[in-house]
């Protein structure tokens, strides 16, 4: 494409400025800082869409069958006659909400934004290993976002098989209308997304391995970089499996193969497919799907490690243990996938193996939590908005993590599988933690990204509304799940027919949940306002606003190609020398050589 025309920009090693056109600077940019911002902007937009979808279906759940102008405004007469959404559209909204949140906001948005911005800046590189591939990665992401959004507007509706798109439901247009064009677009969008993610990940890995500046040994890397690095490796190993998973589904849908289909009669039509297995899809899907949880979480944990240490003015507790637990989590994440499948008809013995490996993952997670808490202990905590969100992250990571112990236990999963208990669990541990991590990252590195400061007070308002809203949504949801309410139900009136008590409980709680979700959504307006306002009108950022040690704060506030004017910085110490006894200041940047007689950590 147009990228070819900008070949001349391939060499980012030359420092200083060369003339850039609008297109090469803001659109087909090779600069990692700009690409990171592009990822962020796209993700923010996708996040807004996904949040809006969730409010629409929350309205249906709290007040089923009641016409609403709000719903009719967005869905129109086709999908919401009289302001009551159709059953099919409900499933479509749920599916696309999940897909966008997991992949586009928390994978593309989180990893894409912060890996791009922080990896070269924190390892001391002029740019990513390949600026061109990096650009390609963004544009694939952009294209897949467009296709995913477009699928909301096709006549037969978006994919309606849930974000996990289990076949045969997702393979048979006769089974649900969204499995027609909507599902085709979903699959193509995801295939492109995976390509984007792979290209990006390879670039991150190469950059971390090869482009570290003098003195930046692996054990002097900030934990953010460790997290991005391991995340990228997980992505490279697991996303191809999702791609094959999706390709086989595409072939079942279009080429008449029978990978996932066997012995099916749908809408009176007897299909001749025989021998496929829907369980194969589930194995392939969750082989990515579970590592995906950590692809989402690890970057958030990496960002928070950095922020919690900076703002407690203390070194992160147990730096090596933190790296060890990232590695342990990454390794274990590949051998736990079938805990999503305890009651899908998989051999129960296989289930027991996965109980064991899954519960093991709680150990490194616990280590991380305790290390965060110890980092706060006897600290000197500065409450920037980023720090608030980081503490929120640790709290949701605990709260969502402990319910995982229930779900990982196959015996207990029999009754909680696919209920709202699961929905509550993964929204807290993965959704909230990652979103909090992302917000923390935006507040913390906003000065680096845009050279401006965000408004702190509005940040406080945003945080407190968000955490109250978030817990208000997901805490009661556990109880809805324990009452046995299955997920992906359009309404729960069926409960009225056999157990009025449960029905009343579910309906009461659903109203509470929806109220809080509306509150939380409104809270995000504060963020959006602050974010966009500050980009244009925010006060100029100082060189090192949070008095932080890492390399990115040694670059000039004004962005330049190649990041550092003149030579690359040399690193002499680990990034967590905060409040080191004997030092004048409570922070010692990595570029400061060891004083005489000073011991390196």
Partner 1 sequence: MVAKLIILGVIILGVIAIAQLMRVYELSSKLRENVESEISNRDNKFNATMMLLFMIGLFGGFIWLMMTYGWTGRGDAASVHGHGLDSLLNLNFIIIIAVFFLTNFLLFFFAFKYVKKPGVAALYFPHNNKLELVWTVVPAIVLAVIIILGLKEWNSATSEAAPESIRIELFSKQFDWTARYSGNDNTLGKFDYKLTLDNNELALLTTNTLDSSIHAMEARIHDLEKVLNRRDTMLVPADKEMMMSELANKERLVRLLHQMKGRHNPEVDAWAWDDIIQKDTLYLCKGKEFEFNFRSKDVIHSAYFPHFRAQMNTVPGMTTRFKFIPDKTTEEMREEKNNPNFNYVLLCNKICGGAHYKMKMMVVVLDEKAYDAWMESKKGQTFKDKYFGEPAAPADDAEGDQNEEENNEDGEGDAEPTGDVALPEDGE
Quick check: 148 and 100 in contact, CB under 8 A?
Answer: yes
Which of 5/494 has CB closer to partner 1?
494
Which of 476/569 has CB closer to partner 1?
476
417 forms part of the interface with partner 1 (CB under 8 A): yes
- Among 29, 116, 145, 384, the residue binding partner 1 under the rule CB under 8 A is 384
Convert residues 300-319 into a mask of x (bound to partner 1 by CB under 8 A) and - (unbound).
------------xxxxxxxx
- Among 5, 52, 146, 414, the residue binding partner 1 under the rule CB under 8 A is 414
Stretch that binds partner 1, among 144-152, 236-244, 370-378, 432-440 (CB under 8 A): 370-378
Which of 30/97 has CB closer to partner 1?
97
599 forms part of the interface with partner 1 (CB under 8 A): no
Separation CA 102–CA 110 (nearest Å): 10
461 forms part of the interface with partner 1 (CB under 8 A): no
Which of 71/136 has CB closer to partner 1?
71
Quote the least distance from Cβ 298 to partner 1, whole Å: 19
- Among 45, 74, 334, 475, the residue binding partner 1 under the rule CB under 8 A is 475
Which of 143/266 has CB closer to partner 1?
266
- Among 2, 218, 219, 529, the residue binding partner 1 under the rule CB under 8 A is 529
186 forms part of the interface with partner 1 (CB under 8 A): no
275-294 positions binding partner 1, by CB under 8 A: 275-279
Which of 244/502 has CB closer to partner 1?
502
Q: How far is CA 378 from CA 381, 545, 579, in A?
A: 9, 23, 11
117-176 positions binding partner 1, by CB under 8 A: 160-162, 166, 168-169, 172, 175-176
13-72 positions binding partner 1, by CB under 8 A: none
265 forms part of the interface with partner 1 (CB under 8 A): yes
Quick check: 551 and 470 in contact, CB under 8 A?
Answer: no
The C-alpha angle with vertex 278 and arms to 431 and 261, in degrees rounded to 5, equals 135
476 forms part of the interface with partner 1 (CB under 8 A): yes
Quick check: 288 and 242 in contact, CB under 8 A?
Answer: yes
Which of 244/544 has CB closer to partner 1?
544
- Which residues lie below 8 Å from residue 429, measured CB to CB, with a gap of 6+? 297, 396, 397, 399, 400, 401, 403, 404
381 forms part of the interface with partner 1 (CB under 8 A): yes
Stretch that binds partner 1, among 5-13, 121-129, 426-434, 530-538 (CB under 8 A): 530-538
Separation CA 102–CA 107 (nearest Å): 6
Which of 153/383 has CB closer to partner 1?
383
Quick check: 469 and 520 in contact, CB under 8 A?
Answer: yes
Convert residues 557-576 into a mask of x (bound to partner 1 by CB under 8 A) and - (unbound).
-------------------x
Stretch that binds partner 1, among 48-56, 113-121, 229-237, 386-394 (CB under 8 A): 386-394
Among residues 225, 257, 236, 272, which one has the least CA distance to residue 120? 225
Bond before 168 cis per omega within 30 degrees: yes
Stretch that binds partner 1, among 32-40, 194-202, 329-337, 533-541 (CB under 8 A): 533-541
Quote the least distance from Cβ 402 to partner 1, whole Å: 4
Among residues 106, 165, 118, which one has the least CA distance to residue 429? 106
Site residue total, partner 1 (CB under 8 A): 139
403 forms part of the interface with partner 1 (CB under 8 A): yes
Quick check: 415 and 453 in contact, CB under 8 A?
Answer: no
Convert residues 485-514 into a mask of x (bound to partner 1 by CB under 8 A) and - (unbound).
-x-xxxxx-x--xxxxxx--x---x-----
Which of 452/559 has CB closer to partner 1?
452
Tokens of 237: 């190993």
Bridging pattern class, strands 269-270 and 265-266: antiparallel
- Among 379, 437, 469, 575, the residue binding partner 1 under the rule CB under 8 A is 379
Which of 15/487 has CB closer to partner 1?
487
- Among 27, 236, 323, 360, the residue binding partner 1 under the rule CB under 8 A is 360
355 forms part of the interface with partner 1 (CB under 8 A): yes
Separation CA 297–CA 491 (nearest Å): 31
Which of 206-237 are b and which e, b meaning 16 or more Cβ less than 10 Å from the residue's Cβ? ebbeebbbeebeeebbbbbbbbbbbbbbbbbb
For 424, what's the count of Cα atoms within 13 Å in the CB-facing half-sphere? 28
Beta-carbon count within 10 A of 443 CB: 27
Quote the least distance from Cβ 74 to partner 1, whole Å: 12
227-256 positions binding partner 1, by CB under 8 A: none
Quote the least distance from Cβ 180 to partner 1, whole Å: 13
Quote the least distance from Cβ 597 to partner 1, whole Å: 16
343 forms part of the interface with partner 1 (CB under 8 A): yes
β-sheet bridge partners, residue 452: 540
451 forms part of the interface with partner 1 (CB under 8 A): no
Helix (H) or strand (E) holding 357: helix 348-360
Among residues 583, 555, 548, which one has the least CA distance to residue 569? 555
Cα pseudo-dihedral 64, 69, 70, 73, rounded to 10 = 120
Query: Counting Cβ atoms within 10 Å, is residue 305 exposed (0-12), middle (13-18) or buried (19+)?
Result: buried
Stretch that binds partner 1, among 38-46, 293-301, 415-423, 426-434 (CB under 8 A): 415-423
Quick check: 336 and 407 in contact, CB under 8 A?
Answer: no
193-232 positions binding partner 1, by CB under 8 A: none
3-class DSSP state of 116: helix
Among residues 8, 231, 28, 195, which one has the least CA distance to residue 118? 231
């Amino acid at each position: 494409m147009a990228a070819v025309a900008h070949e001349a920009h391939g060499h980012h090693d030359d420092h200083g400025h060369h003339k850039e056109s609008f297109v090469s600077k803001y659109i087909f940019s090779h600069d990692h800082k700009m690409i990171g911002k592009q990822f962020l902007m796209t993700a923010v937009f996708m996040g807004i869409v996904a949040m809006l979808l969730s409010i629409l279906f929350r309205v249906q759940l709290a007040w089923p069958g009641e016409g609403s102008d709000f719903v009719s405004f967005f869905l129109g007469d086709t999908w919401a006659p009289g302001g009551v959404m159709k059953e099919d559209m409900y499933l479509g909204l749920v599916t696309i909400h999940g897909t966008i949140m997991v992949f586009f906001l928390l994978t593309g948005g989180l990893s894409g934004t912060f890996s791009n911005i922080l990896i070269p800046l924190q390892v001391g590189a002029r740019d990513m290993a390949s600026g061109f591939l990096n650009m390609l990665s963004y544009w694939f992401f952009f294209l897949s976002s467009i296709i995913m959004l477009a699928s909301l507007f096709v006549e037969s509706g978006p994919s309606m098989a849930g974000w996990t798109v289990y076949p045969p439901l997702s393979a048979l247009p006769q089974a649900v209308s969204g499995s027609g064009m909507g599902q085709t677009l979903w699959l193509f969008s995801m295939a492109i997304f995976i390509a984007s993610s792979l290209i990006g990940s390879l670039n991150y890995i190469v950059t971390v391995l090869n482009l570290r500046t003098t003195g930046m040994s692996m054990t002097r890397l900030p934990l953010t970089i460790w997290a991005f690095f391991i995340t990228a490796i997980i992505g490279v190993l697991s996303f191809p499996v999702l791609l094959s998973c999706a390709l086989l589904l595409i072939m079942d849908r279009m080429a008449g193969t029978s990978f996932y289909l066997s012995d099916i009669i749908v809408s009176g039509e007897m299909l001749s497919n025989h021998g496929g297995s829907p369980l194969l899809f589930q194995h392939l899907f969750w082989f990515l799907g579970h590592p995906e949880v950590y692809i989402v979480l690890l970057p958030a944990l990496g960002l928070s490690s950095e922020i919690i240490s900076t703002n407690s003015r203390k070194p992160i507790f147990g730096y090596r243990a933190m790296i060890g637990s990232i590695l342990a989590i990454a390794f274990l994440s590949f051998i736990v996938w079938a805990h999503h499948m305890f009651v899908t008809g998989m051999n129960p013995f296989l289930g027991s193996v996965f109980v064991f490996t899954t519960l093991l993952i709680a150990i490194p997670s616990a280590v991380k939590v305790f290390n965060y808490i110890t980092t706060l202990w006897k600290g000197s905590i500065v409450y920037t908005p980023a720090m608030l969100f980081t503490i929120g992250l640790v709290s949701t990571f605990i709260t969502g993590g402990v319910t995982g112990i229930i779900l990982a236990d196959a015996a207990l999963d029999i009754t909680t599988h696919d209920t709202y208990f699961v929905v509550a669990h993964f929204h807290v541990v993965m959704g909230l933690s990652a979103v909090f991590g992302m917000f923390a990252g935006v507040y913390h590195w906003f000065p680096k990204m845009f050279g401006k400061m965000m408004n702190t007070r509005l940040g406080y308002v945003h945080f407190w509304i968000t955490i109250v809203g978030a817990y208000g949504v997901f805490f009661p949801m556990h109880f809805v799940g324990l009452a046995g309410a299955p997920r992906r139900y359009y309404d729960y009136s069926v409960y009225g027919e056999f157990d009025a008590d449960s029905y009343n409980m579910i309906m009461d709680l659903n109203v509470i949940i929806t109220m809080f979700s509306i509150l939380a959504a409104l809270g995000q307006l504060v963020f959006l306002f602050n974010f966009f306002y500050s980009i244009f009108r925010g006060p100029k950022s100082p060189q090192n606003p949070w008095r932080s040690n890492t390399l990115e704060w040694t670059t000039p506030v004004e962005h330049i190609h190649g990041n550092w004017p003149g030579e690359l910085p040399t690193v002499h110490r680990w990034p967590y020398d905060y409040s080191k006894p004997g030092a004048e200041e409570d922070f010692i940047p990595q570029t400061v050589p060891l004083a005489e007689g000073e011991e390196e950590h």
